[in-house]
């Protein structure tokens, strides 16, 4: 227990110090990291029932478009549009998952793509209100009441706070009976039905909650970029999200976070090779799926074991003479 707390404390300190330790353009990367953390963690939430979807990026887009339109056209404040956008994303998520509850596996995967793409094409098609292929511009910068929080470092801390809050909520769900229900559905849906668990309802619940948080991430992104367009939510981006969770692993709660951090570092380091980045990403995806399907998280217990061994050896060494 002490070790966990120390771990969290170290992470907290690093997270708070980081924006001051890097170049300004890299604060941008950190902000996007926050979006991706929420995105990947919420994708895992959906996966815990065993459903893999291809529409998660689109629900992020729903949040982005919602917040943009709520603040721009209705003139409502950001602190209201943020949670509202999550709700809209959750609602659209429900409309996507509901017809798919009769299928699982590959059918669900490709069906979620079809419905998600249909939503995305609505943004492409209709200039009003979505702006068509060019999308929306002049999205009001984020502000809470009279405070403008759109400054890079301020916004980073704001997004960090939202990310921590979101992940904490998802953690509570994961650890609860409902989280156990999701995992049980993944393992043996027939058994679950037999003990009174309405499997379709819980699959939908996981999907909608996941969509809600994806929407939150989308709203955060919309106000940061100031402009959004349908291309930001294409299938290609979905593949990158999948890379995050495959690299990290989804068995443990923290796997996706590990995946996001590792891949963000990889992408940053490969900045000079920018044109080769999709190849690097693709190769990494192939590698993990073929060679290490459990993701990096399976290495963590091994690393911990090594760490413990090292600290044990420390105790065995004779004390240095005074």
Partner 1 sequence: MEFSTLIQTIANSIVQGSVYSTVAVGLALGFGVMKMANFAHGEFYMLGAYVVFLLYTTLGAPFPLAVLAAFPIVAAVGMLTERLIFRPTQGNVLAGFMATAGLAFVLQVLVGQAWGVGLMRAIATPYMGALQVGGAFIGWQRLLIVPAAIAMVAALWYFLYNVKIGKALRACAQDPEVAALQGISINKVTLLAMAIAGGYAGIAGALMAPIQPVTPYMGHDIIITAFIIVIVGGMESIAGAVLAAFILGFIHTFVTTLFDGVVATMAGVALMALILIVKPEGLLGKVKA
Partner 2 sequence: MVLLETKELSKYFGGLRALRDLSIEVEAGEIRGVIGPNGAGKTTLFNVISGVYKPSSGSVYFKNERVSAMSPSEIAARGAVRTFQRDAVIHDFSVLRNVAVARHLHTGQTLLKTLFGNIGRLQRQDEEKAEEILEFVGLYDLRHELAANLAHGFQRVLGIAIALATEPVLLMLDEPVAGMNPTETAHMTGVIDKLHKERGMTIMLVEHDMKTVMGICEKITVIDFGEKLAEGPPKEIKNDAKVVEAYLGAEDFVAQR
Tokens matching residue 219? 């709203």
Q: How far is the CB of 322 from partner 1 (least distance, A)?
A: 58
CB within 8 Å of 71: residues ≥ 6 apart: 77, 78, 81, 139, 140, 223
Nearer to partner 2, 151 or 188 (CB): 188
Q: Which does 172 bind (CB under 5 to 8 A by kind): partner 2, partner 1, none?
A: partner 2
Q: How far is the CB of 217 from partner 2 (least distance, A)?
A: 18
Stretch 242-261 residues interacting with partner 1 (CB under 8 A):
242-243, 246
Nearer to partner 2, 119 or 192 (CB): 192
**Of the candidates 33, 40, 100, 216, which one interacts with partner 1 according to CB under 8 A?**
100
**Of the candidates 95, 282, 301, 304, which one interacts with partner 1 according to CB under 8 A?**
282
Nearer to partner 2, 163 or 221 (CB): 163
Q: How far apart are CA 120 and CA 63, in angstroms?
A: 12
Q: Which does 197 bind (CB under 5 to 8 A by kind): partner 2, partner 1, none?
A: partner 2
Q: How far apart are CA 163 and CA 41, in angstroms?
A: 10
DSSP β-bridge partners for residue 314: none
Q: Is 184 in the site for partner 2 (CB under 8 A)?
A: yes
DSSP β-bridge partners for residue 211: none
Per CB under 8 A, which region of 64-72, 145-153, 156-164, 188-196 contacts partner 2?
188-196
Tokens matching residue 221? 């992104």
Nearer to partner 1, 150 or 270 (CB): 270
**DSSP state, 233?**
G
**Of the candidates 75, 145, 146, 196, which one interacts with partner 2 according to CB under 8 A?**
196
Q: How far apart are CA 121 and CA 214, in angstroms?
A: 19
Q: Is 311 in the site for partner 2 (CB under 8 A)?
A: no
Q: How far apart are CA 112 and CA 251, in angstroms?
A: 22
Q: How far apart are CA 130 and CA 124, in angstroms?
A: 8
Q: Euclidean distance between the first and final Cα of the chain, in Å?
A: 33
Q: How far is the CB of 176 from partner 2 (least distance, A)?
A: 4
Q: How far apart are CA 253 and CA 297, in angstroms?
A: 10
| Other beta carbons within 10 Å of 200 | 15
**Of the candidates 169, 237, 239, 289, which one interacts with partner 2 according to CB under 8 A?**
169
**Of the candidates 29, 77, 87, 103, which one interacts with partner 1 according to CB under 8 A?**
103
Q: How far is the CB of 104 from partner 2 (least distance, A)?
A: 16
Segment holding 249, helix H or strand E: none
Residues that bind partner 2 (CB under 8 A): 169, 172-173, 176-178, 180-181, 183-184, 187-188, 190-199, 205
């Amino acid at each position: 227990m002490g070790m966990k707390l120390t771990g969290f404390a170290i992470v907290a300190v690093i997270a708070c110090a980081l924006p001051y330790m890097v170049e300004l353009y890299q604060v941008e990367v950190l902000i996007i990291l926050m979006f991706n953390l929420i995105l990947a963690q919420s994708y895992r939430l959906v996966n815990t029932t065993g459903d893999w979807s291809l529409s998660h990026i689109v629900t992020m887009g729903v949040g982005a478009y919602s917040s943009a339109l709520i603040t721009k056209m209705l003139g409502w404040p950001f602190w209201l549009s943020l949670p509202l956008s999550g709700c809209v994303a959750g609602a659209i998520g429900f409309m996507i998952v509901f017809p798919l509850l009769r299928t699982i596996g590959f059918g669900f995967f490709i069906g979620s793509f079809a419905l998600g793409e249909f939503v995305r094409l609505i943004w492409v098609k209709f200039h009003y209100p979505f702006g068509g292929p060019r999308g929306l511009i002049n999205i009001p910068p984020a502000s809470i009441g009279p405070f403008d929080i759109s400054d890079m470092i301020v916004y980073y801390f704001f997004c960090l706070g939202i990310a921590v809050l979101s992940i904490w909520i998802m953690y509570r769900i994961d650890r609860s009976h409902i989280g156990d229900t999701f995992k049980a559905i993944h393992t043996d849906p027939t058994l679950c039905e037999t003990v009174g668990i309405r499997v379709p309802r819980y699959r939908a619940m996981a999907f909608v909650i996941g969509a809600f948080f994806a929407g939150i991430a989308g709203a955060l992104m919309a106000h940061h970029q100031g402009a959004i367009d349908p291309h930001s939510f294409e299938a290609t981006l979905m593949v990158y999200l999948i890379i995050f969770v495959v690299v990290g692993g989804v068995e443990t709660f923290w796997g996706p976070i590990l995946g996001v951090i590792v891949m963000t570092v990889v992408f940053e380091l490969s900045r000079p090779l920018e044109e080769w980045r999709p190849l690097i990403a693709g190769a990494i995806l192939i590698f993990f799926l073929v060679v290490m399907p459990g993701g990096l998280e399976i290495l963590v217990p091994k690393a911990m074991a090594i760490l413990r061994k090292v600290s044990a050896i420390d105790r065995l060494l004779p004390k240095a003479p005074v």
